[in-house]
Structure 1
Amino acid sequence: MIVLDQTWLRLHPLPQPEADTDKNKRGRVLAAGGAETVPAALLLTGEAAFRAGAGKVQLATVESVQLGLGLRMPEAASFGLPSNDYGELAAEAGVVLAGMLERCDALVLGPGMGSDAESGEILGSLFSGAGQHVPMLLDAAVIAAMANFVTQAQTWNEALVMTPHPGEMAALMGCDETQASARLAEAASDKFGATIVLKTSETWIATPGAATLHYPGGGPGLATGGSGDVLAGLIAGLMARGAEPMTAAGWGVWLHGCAGSMLAKRVGPLGFMASELLAEIPALMAAVSVPND
């Protein structure tokens, strides 16, 4: 097991844009999720993708809240998706999303989605579609539905990342959430052929064929609503830029944790908001990306 620190980050640098780059070359993220009861979760994910350096972000959520979401984030395009009677994404949303993959470089699916979303049907459409495969990050309620898609996950020909907390990990692996550990992350990684970011008070990142990364944590202030939505957007944004899944996950976890540590010192150990993490990201990323003289 390897400690995730600045030494590791410098050994795994992020792809950097050329001087003549444009917003499409910097990476396009499609963030899908949300619900009528959590209409703004994707705002955190979308802004995190931008803060991680992505050039374009598209937000796709239940149709009833799509306009408000678009007005809140003028930098992003917004799209409405079919919803069910619970105000969550309906099965038909999967067909729409599958048709949108050719216009993005990474998909993050799940922020703001609850147990009443038709996650299994949405995943079925994504996995069975004949369209383009892209790096994909799965979060929140979608993770539990992945338990029925082991073969499809193993044959997805692009990066696949999942970011479970212990309860979601238990649903994914059919175990008790008290079993959350590096070993469980490694077992899930081997089973699904995916990079697993297991989030507790500390974080383990396991990916097939690589040593597991361990991050000791950014403090209890990160245990707050929306924090995971920010992390998902950071990792997706880095993948859209061209980072390999382990590199994107490692950088995303470190940036997220260090932003939390900085706010804990400046604001207080508890009480800062997930949205406050976002402004800390660019400077942190730049400080580590530029080697010391």
Structure 2
Amino acid sequence: MRRIDQAWVRAHPLPPVEADNDKNSRGRVLVIGGAEFVPGALRLTGEAVLRAGAGKLQMATVKSAAMALAVLMPEAAMIALPADADGEIATDAADLLGERLGRCDVVIMGPGMSAAPQTSDLVKAVLARTAQDAVVILDAAALTCARDLQEDIRQRDGRVIVTPHHGELSYLTGVPTEVIAADAAKAAQEVAEAYGMVVLLKGAQSFLASPAAETLMYEEGCAGLATGGSGDVLAGIIGGLAARGAEPLQACAWAAFIHGQVGATLSKQVGTVGFLARELLPLIPRLIDEASET
């Protein structure tokens, strides 16, 4: 098993950004999520997408939160979606997203959402409308729905990414968390092979598995990253790097490395714990540049 470290990322460089590249060449990302209970989560993911270098960003969330989020994130186009009685995105929202899904290079779904009976139907509808060659990242509540969508995911030829922690993988597979923890690398690999997708299993040691590659391990994280919103930032970094042209496994490995490096930097600047997820965001571009230097 190989470690994701400075040597690995330098051996697997990101697609270059040329001086004459415009924003269209760095990809279009659509982030779907949020709810009336957690209206700001999408900001973390959306900003991370742009900080990682994506060219265009659209965000879709419940109508009650959309205007405030649009003002907070003037760099993004905003799509207001209907909500159900619990303040979650309604199932028919996929119809409103329509052609936008087909024109995206990356779709991120799940930040700020809660698992609800209709969530699986919404995820299925989004998968059906998203371009076949796009990368789809399922995070938080959206990834737990994957257990009902195995065939839909397999049809996307390895271009679906999920980012569970041990509890979410337990919900997805029905395997107890203590069994997953006993051999997390094996658990991640088995799910990757069963669904034909890329799995980034987060923890003190994170394991990255895909059906066609050796399992990778990242173990340089820090305690301060175990904070609300940190996973939303990670999902955004993955999406931004994928929009720039990185393949799913590479985007995940780089994102895990950069996320960990940002956490280590803030641990020194702020404290071992107590820094906020939004404080990760401004450091992302510089650390990507530093990791890319040869």
Q: TM-score range by the shorter chain?
A: over 0.9
CA-to-aligned-CA distance 1:218-246 (integer Å, 9 cap, x gap): 21100000000000000011111110011
The AA in structure 1 aligned to 2:171 is: A
Mapping for residues 1-293 of structure 1, pairs under 5 Å: 1-116=1-116, 118-129=118-129, 133-157=133-157, 159-180=159-180, 181-291=184-294
SS of the aligned residue for 1:78 comes to strand
Q: Which moved more, 1:61-70 or 1:13-22?
A: 13-22
Q: CA deviation at 1:156?
A: 1.3
The AA in structure 2 aligned to 1:119 is: T
Contact 1:99 1:131 in 2 (8 A): no
Q: Which moved more, 1:232-241 or 1:88-97?
A: 88-97
Q: CA deviation at 1:290?
A: 1.8
Contact 1:133 1:158 in 2 (8 A): no
The AA in structure 2 aligned to 1:276 is: E
Q: What is the CA–CA distance in structure 1 between the aligned matches of 2:167 and 2:155, rounded to whole Å?
A: 26
User: Between Structure 1 and Structure 2, how many residues are aligned?
Assistant: 291
SS of the aligned residue for 2:214 comes to coil
Q: CA deviation at 1:98?
A: 4.6
The AA in structure 1 aligned to 2:7 is: T
CA-to-aligned-CA distance 1:149-202 (integer Å, 9 cap, x gap): 111111114611000011110111111122230100000100111110001122
Q: CA deviation at 1:132?
A: 5.0
Q: Which moved more, 1:270-279 or 1:86-95?
A: 86-95
Contact 2:48 2:281 in 1 (8 A): yes
Q: How much is the aligned-residue C-alpha RMSD, in angstroms?
A: 1.4
The AA in structure 1 aligned to 2:261 is: C
CA-to-aligned-CA distance 1:111-158 (integer Å, 9 cap, x gap): 000123732111221234486551100000111111011111111146
Q: Which moved more, 1:117-126 or 1:79-88?
A: 117-126
Contact 2:165 2:203 in 1 (8 A): yes
Contact 1:136 1:158 in 2 (8 A): no
SS of the aligned residue for 1:212 comes to strand
Cα separation, partners in 2 of 1:197 and 1:158, compared to 1, 3 Å: closer
Q: What is the CA–CA distance in structure 1 between the aligned matches of 2:47 and 2:272, rounded to whole Å?
A: 23
The AA in structure 2 aligned to 1:154 is: R
* TM-score (structure 1 length as normaliser): 0.96
Cα separation, partners in 2 of 1:205 and 1:158, compared to 1, 3 Å: closer
The AA in structure 1 aligned to 2:285 is: P
Contact 1:34 1:61 in 2 (8 A): yes
Cα separation, partners in 2 of 1:31 and 1:129, compared to 1, 3 Å: closer
Q: Which moved more, 1:74-83 or 1:229-238?
A: 74-83
Q: Which moved more, 1:249-258 or 1:13-22?
A: 13-22
Q: What is the CA–CA distance in structure 2 between the aligned matches of 1:242 and 1:117, rounded to whole Å?
A: 34
Contact 1:203 1:217 in 2 (8 A): no
Q: What is the CA–CA distance in structure 2 between the aligned matches of 1:146 and 1:66, rounded to whole Å?
A: 27
Contact 1:30 1:57 in 2 (8 A): yes
Contact 2:107 2:135 in 1 (8 A): yes
CA-to-aligned-CA distance 1:32-55 (integer Å, 9 cap, x gap): 100001101010001100110101
The AA in structure 1 aligned to 2:27 is: G
